[in-house]
Structure 1
Amino acid sequence: MTVLLDPDQLRTFVAIAETGSFTRAAEVVHKTQSAVSMQMKRLEDRVGRPIFARDGRASRLTEDGERLLDFARRIVRLNMEAVTSFADAELSGRVCLGVPDDYADRYLPDIMARFSRTHASVELTVICEPTNELVQRIAAGTIDLAIITATEITARNAQVIRRERLMWVTSARHAVHQEPVVPLALGRTTCQWRDIAVTRLATAGRGHRILYSSPNSGAVAAAVLAGLAVSVFPESALRPGMRVLGTADGFPALPPCDIGLLRNRHEASPLADALAQHVIQGLDNLTEQDAAQ
C-alpha cells in the first residue's frame, strides 16, 4: 500500500532542519516540544529510515534526512499554494479579532501574515484586551472572534484549541523568589491566573503579597525581569531573562492553561469563519497531546 506523507509533519521537519533544534522548531510551528518529537517519530516510521542523528543539543540530519528535506520543502510549498488557490478571493470587508496581550506576541504575527496572504482585500482589526473584556465584547456582538484563556466560566461557548503549561516565573538574575514573603506581580482582581496563584500559595502555606497589579502582561513581565516580583505566565508568554520555578523552589504545581476561540454567534460571517480557520491551524496542539497521552 502506498504510504502518504503528512504535510503537517513535513512542515515541522523543515522547521527543525532550518532552526537546527526541536525546541526552536516547536516555537516556529506553535507546538509543544513533545508534540514535535512525536511527529518526527511518526515521520520516520512512514519513511522507514532514521532522518535525524543527534549531535549534542543540535538535531543533525542523516543522509536520508537530507534527501527527504528537498521533497519536504516542495510538498509544503505546493500544499500552501493549493490551499491559497482555493481561498475565496471574492471575500472582502472587515473582520475583528480580540486577543489578550499574553498571547499576542507569540501568535499574532503568524496568524496575521497567513490571513493577509490568502485574503488580501480584507481589513483585519485586532483588539488586545483581557479575556473577561473580550468575552463581554463577543456577547455584545462588537467583535467577530476572540482568542481567550478558557476557564470553567469563559469556556462555556468557546472551542478549546490549545493547552499549555502555566508556570511560576522569576528573573534569572535575581532571587526575589527566596524571600520569606514572596512579592507577586499579577493581573487585576478579575484575572483567573491571579486567583489560582494566590490560592495555591495559600494552600501550600507560602507567605506572599501582591506588590504589582496590571492587566498588561508587558507591565507584569517588566516587574518580573527587574527582579521585583514573581508571577505566573503561560508557556507561550515566557520571555528571555525569565526563570521557571517549580516545587523544588517551594512553589506548588499549577493547572494547565487552556486557550479557546470564541465566535460571535449573533452575526456569523464567511470572513470570520476564514479567520477562525487560520487561528485554529496556528494554535492547535490538542490533537498531538491527546495522542501522546
Structure 2
Amino acid sequence: MRQTTFDPDVLRGFVLGIELGSFAKAAARLNRSTSAVSAQLKRLEEQVGTPLVHRVGRGMVMTEQGEVMLSYARRLLDLNDEAAAAVCGEQLEGRVRLGLQEDFGERLLPGVLGRFARAHPKLHIEVRVASNMRLKEDVSLGKLDLALVWKAASESLSAETLASVPMKWIGSVSFQPLQALDDPLPLVVLEAPCMLRQMAIDALDRAGIAWRIAFSSASLGATWAAITAELGIGIRTPLCLPAQVRALNAQEAGLPELPGLELSLYHAETAPSLAVTRLGQIIRQHVAELVPAQC
C-alpha cells in the first residue's frame, strides 16, 4: 500500500481557506495567487480520493471527509509549527499579556497556553480573566497586549472579528417551557455594567415581558450555580456552557429572540511583536475549532 504524505503548505492553504470562508482570501493572506491555492486544494483532494468542499453559490460547504481532513490538518500544522519553533532556533523571550472572559477559562485556556508554552518555553504569559468592559479598558491603556472579548455595536478600539455567535437564554437542564407569565420573569445576571445583561433586558422590554433581577453576581460561576438551582434564567452564548445548564429554544420557552454577538480579538498595538502575533494565531485556530462545534 502506497503511503500518503501530506504537504504542510497544502494543508495550510486548505485550513486558512476554510477559516476565512474563501480560498481567494487565503491566497491573499499567503501572498499567493488564487489559482495556486486552488491547485493545492485539487492536489489534496486527489490525495484523499474524494472532494473536500462543495461550491454553493458564492460560498462553499465542507463534505463529511472535508470536516475530518480539517481536524487532522489543524493538528498536523500545530505539530509542524511547534517542531519548527523548538528545533530551528526561534527562541522568543519576554512576556505577553492576554485578557480573557471567564467563559473561556476552562475550555480555551489549557489548549492555547499549553501549545504556546511548548513552542516558546522562554516566553512568559500573563493572563487576566475579567469582565468585557474591564478587558477593553486594559487594552486601550496598554495593560494588555491581546484580549478575547465580545464586541459592541459601536466601538473605537481596533478589533478583529473571529466569529459571529448567537446569544441564548440559559436555563437548568430540567427547565420546562414557560406558560403565561403572571409574575415578572426572574433573571440571573452578571452585575452591571454588562453588555449581555442590557441586551437581554432590552429584548424583554421590546416584547412587553415584565422581568425582575432574581440573582446578580460578579462571578460567572455563581450565576451558573443560581441557574442550576432554578432561581431564574440567564443570558449567555452556547460557548463553553457547564454540563448542568443548557441553551433554550426561545420560541418554545415563550421568550424573545436575542441578537448575535461578535467574538473579537483586541490588539493594543497596530504593529504587535512577533510573540503577540504568534499567540494571536493560536487563539484564532482554537476559536475556529470551538465555535462550529458548539453553535
Length-normalised TM-score, structure 2: 0.69
Higher-RCO chain (CA-CA 8 Å, sequence separation at least 6): 1
Match of 2:253 in 1: 249
Q: Which has more helix, going by share of residues?
A: 1
Matches of residues 79-98 of structure 1 in structure 2 within 5 Å?
A: 79-87=77-85, 89-98=90-99
**Measured at CA, do residues 267 and 133 of structure 1 come closer, stay the same or move farther in structure 2, by a change above 3 Å?**
farther
Length-normalised TM-score, structure 1: 0.70
The answer to whether structure 1 residue 218 and structure 2 residue 221 are counterparts is yes
Verify the 8 A CA contact 2:100 2:148 in the aligned structure 1.
yes
Verify the 8 A CA contact 2:227 2:245 in the aligned structure 1.
yes
Matches of residues 181-192 of structure 1 in structure 2 within 5 Å?
A: 181-192=184-195
The residue matched to 1:237 in structure 2 has which SS? coil
Q: Deviations over 1:123-152 (max 9, x none)?
A: 111100011001111111111111111112
Q: Distance in 2 between matches of 1:102 and 1:269?
A: 27
Q: Distance in 1 between matches of 2:237 and 2:164?
A: 9
The answer to whether structure 1 residue 260 and structure 2 residue 264 are counterparts is yes
Q: Distance in 2 between matches of 1:77 and 1:203?
A: 46
The answer to whether structure 1 residue 138 and structure 2 residue 136 are counterparts is no
State which of 281, 284, 288 in structure 2 corresponds to 1:284. 288
Q: Deviations over 1:28-80 (max 9, x none)?
A: xxxxxxxxxxxxxxx989845599xxxxxxxxxxxxx8xx99xx96x766533
Q: Distance in 2 between matches of 1:155 and 1:112?
A: 29
User: CA offset at residue 236 of structure 1?
Assistant: 0.6
Verify the 8 A CA contact 2:157 2:266 in the aligned structure 1.
no
Q: Which moved more, 1:197-206 or 1:258-267?
A: 258-267
Identity over aligned pairs, percent: 27
Q: Deviations over 1:163-206 (max 9, x none)?
A: 22211011122459555321001122221111111111111111
Aligned residues: 237
Match of 1:118 in 2: 119
Counterpart amino acid of residue 101 in structure 1: E
Match of 1:39 in 2: none
Verify the 8 A CA contact 1:185 1:220 in the aligned structure 2.
yes
Verify the 8 A CA contact 2:177 2:252 in the aligned structure 1.
no
User: CA offset at residue 101 of structure 1?
Assistant: 0.2
Q: Any gaps of 5 or more consecutive residues in structure 1? A: 11-42, 52-64, 289-293
Verify the 8 A CA contact 2:11 2:77 in the aligned structure 1.
no
Q: Distance in 1 between matches of 2:271 and 2:50?
A: 50
The residue matched to 1:106 in structure 2 has which SS? coil
Counterpart amino acid of residue 145 in structure 1: L
Q: Any gaps of 5 or more consecutive residues in structure 2? A: 1-5, 16-43, 53-64
Verify the 8 A CA contact 2:112 2:282 in the aligned structure 1.
yes
**Measured at CA, do residues 79 and 137 of structure 1 come closer, stay the same or move farther in structure 2, by a change above 3 Å?**
closer
Verify the 8 A CA contact 2:104 2:240 in the aligned structure 1.
yes
User: CA offset at residue 153 of structure 1?
Assistant: 3.4
The answer to whether structure 1 residue 158 and structure 2 residue 156 are counterparts is no
The residue matched to 2:105 in structure 1 has which SS? helix
The residue matched to 2:115 in structure 1 has which SS? helix
Q: Distance in 2 between matches of 1:287 and 1:7?
A: 20
The residue matched to 1:251 in structure 2 has which SS? coil
Verify the 8 A CA contact 1:44 1:50 in the aligned structure 2.
yes
User: CA offset at residue 267 of structure 1?
Assistant: 7.9
Q: Distance in 2 between matches of 1:287 and 1:183?
A: 29
Q: Deviations over 1:73-124 (max 9, x none)?
A: 6x76653332223336320121110011022222112111111121111111
RMSD over aligned CA atoms reads 3.5
Matches of residues 18-167 of structure 1 in structure 2 within 5 Å?
A: 47-49=48-50, 78-87=76-85, 89-154=90-155, 156-167=157-168
Match of 2:204 in 1: 201
